Structure 1
Amino acid sequence: MAEGLRCELLGPLRASRGGVEVPLGPPRQRAVLAVLLLQDGRPMTFEALVDAVWGERPPAQVRNLVQKYVSGLRRALAPETAAGTVRLGWTGSGYRLEGAGIDDMTERAALLREAVTARDAGQLRRAGELAARAEALWRGEFAEGLTGPYLAAERRRWAEKRLTVLEARMEAQIELGRYHECLHELMRQVTAHPLRERLAWLLMLALYRSGRPADALLAFEEARRRIAEETGADPGPALRALHERILRQDPGLLPESALAS
């Protein structure tokens, strides 16, 4: 990675050098950079780049536009020392961006690996803290404000990843006994993502452990209604199993501290 150059995509595309923001030009030029950054140094043919940024109906002058945007990005990114040069240009296989990575995504992945290791070691507090740090790297939607079919698909994929991190943090909080701290956020997320069963599962568990079994059962009924209305299906086995355990007041649902008291 080029020394001093930092690129971020967990929110609006941003590049900075030594703490100073690098001007990246108009939205389409920024979209070209985002797509090339996501190739992780792999070359991308002209046709694939056009499809990624413009889709099936590119403008008639698209070749000139691509060349203009690549030149603009090269001028913005190239002023580096020889030891850390960013190279953007045409190879025999297509356009290739070398010497630049996506720093916030790399940091997120490293934090989540540490969180998994901590969770597997029973270090729930540390796992939750690491997940929270990974979540805090987000500044908005993935590649926010940039258009094109490729980035739209990536945005959906990364929205899923973002929810997975939030769920991991919520689960760690619940296991640490911080049920009340989770309830507001879980209710908000269930409203925003009504068909995501993992969020409904976590909300039900947090309600039950907060001494609100009736509300936990009501949360299941609301989830079941939403799923039936939207998909015509029943909730999945994990949600149904938790519902049954709440109905029979399964002692295994309570934390060890509650069972010991």
Structure 2
Amino acid sequence: MGEGTTGTTTGTSHGSHGSHALRLELLGPLRALRDGEEVPLGPPKQRAILAVLLLQEGRPLSYDGLVEAVWGGAPPVHVRNLVQKYVSGLRRALGDGPELSWTGSGYLLTGARADDLRERRRLVDEALAARNAGDLERAGERARRAEELWRGEFAEGLRTPYLAAERLRWTEKRLTVLEARLAGAIELGRSFEYVHELVRLVAAHPLRERLVELLMLALCRTGRPTDALTAYESARQRLAEALGADPGPALRSLHARVLRQDPVLLPSPPVPAA
């Protein structure tokens, strides 16, 4: 579940930069807030440059690297003028505090960060530490809070090569934490509460075997082993049609356990919420 951090994680930027600090968010459409009011960030490519620079986390990015990240291998003829225009536009939009400068080796954004990414990393790290300590309640609560930071797709609406790759990476991160949270809830005997959510997630990610596994576990724990077998068979058919492959070892093993009526999979009494 852990993702690691860079630098010191301290929650939001408000606490460390004063009451008029600019809060920047990437877990959804790129958003800048000052005193709770959204700050206009300009046209899509200008916003994309900001998103790319935020993801460098205080490291300079060369001119060529920035162009490749935002426009790919076929930039427009006047791309240098566009970069200069958008950088100037960002300096005006960000106002006092953040500094977007040219270092000689690249563009460097300082005094600004993706606050929601840092908050999420902290919560995920706390969830992992709690799980390792056997505190599933706290682990689930921290993972839920991390999930609540999402407002949509990562950097939603910004179509650039670099951000498209980052979007895929963060989708995987999001699903991994979500799976860990649901696994903890099932372990705590709360399968009934999450069956419908798992059905929805399997429909949204039909080839993700871990979600199918969790759905099967939840169904067994709520006294529905036949439905668990049906879920497995549906997943097997999807994998065969889409990938020409069989389910992986974990899913096959769970299927075998359901068939032999493993008593560990029987319904268990729920653990009261703290």
Same fold (TM over 0.5): yes
- In the alignment, structure 1 residue 93 sits paired with structure 2 residue 105: yes
Aligned partners of 1:29, 1:123: CA distance in 2, in Å? 44
- In the alignment, structure 1 residue 49 sits paired with structure 2 residue 61: no
Matched with 1:63 is 80
Q: CA deviation at 1:117?
A: 1.3
Kept in 1, the 8 Å contact 2:28–2:153? The answer is yes
More helix by share: 1
Letter in 2 for 1:51: E
Kept in 1, the 8 Å contact 2:143–2:177? The answer is yes
Aligned partners of 2:192, 2:57: CA distance in 1, in Å? 42
Select the residue among 219, 231, 243 that pairs with 2:243. Answer: 231
Matched with 1:82 is none
> TM-score, structure 2 length as denominator?
0.89
Select the residue among 178, 185, 191 that pairs with 1:173. Answer: 185
Matched with 2:22 is 5
- Runs of 5+ unmatched residues, structure 1: 80-84
Select the residue among 200, 209, 233 that pairs with 1:197. Answer: 209
Regions of 4+ moved over 6 Å: none
Kept in 2, the 8 Å contact 1:180–1:206? The answer is yes
Letter in 2 for 1:215: D
Q: CA deviation at 1:257?
A: 4.3
Q: Tell me how many residue pairs correspond in the alignment.
A: 253
Letter in 2 for 1:242: L
Select the residue among 176, 196, 200 that pairs with 1:188. Answer: 200
- Identical positions, percent: 69
Kept in 2, the 8 Å contact 1:175–1:255? The answer is no
Matched with 2:43 is 26
**Over aligned residues, Cα RMSD in angstroms?**
1.4
Matched with 1:134 is 146
Aligned partners of 2:209, 2:79: CA distance in 1, in Å? 43
Letter in 2 for 1:186: L
- Runs of 5+ unmatched residues, structure 2: 1-12
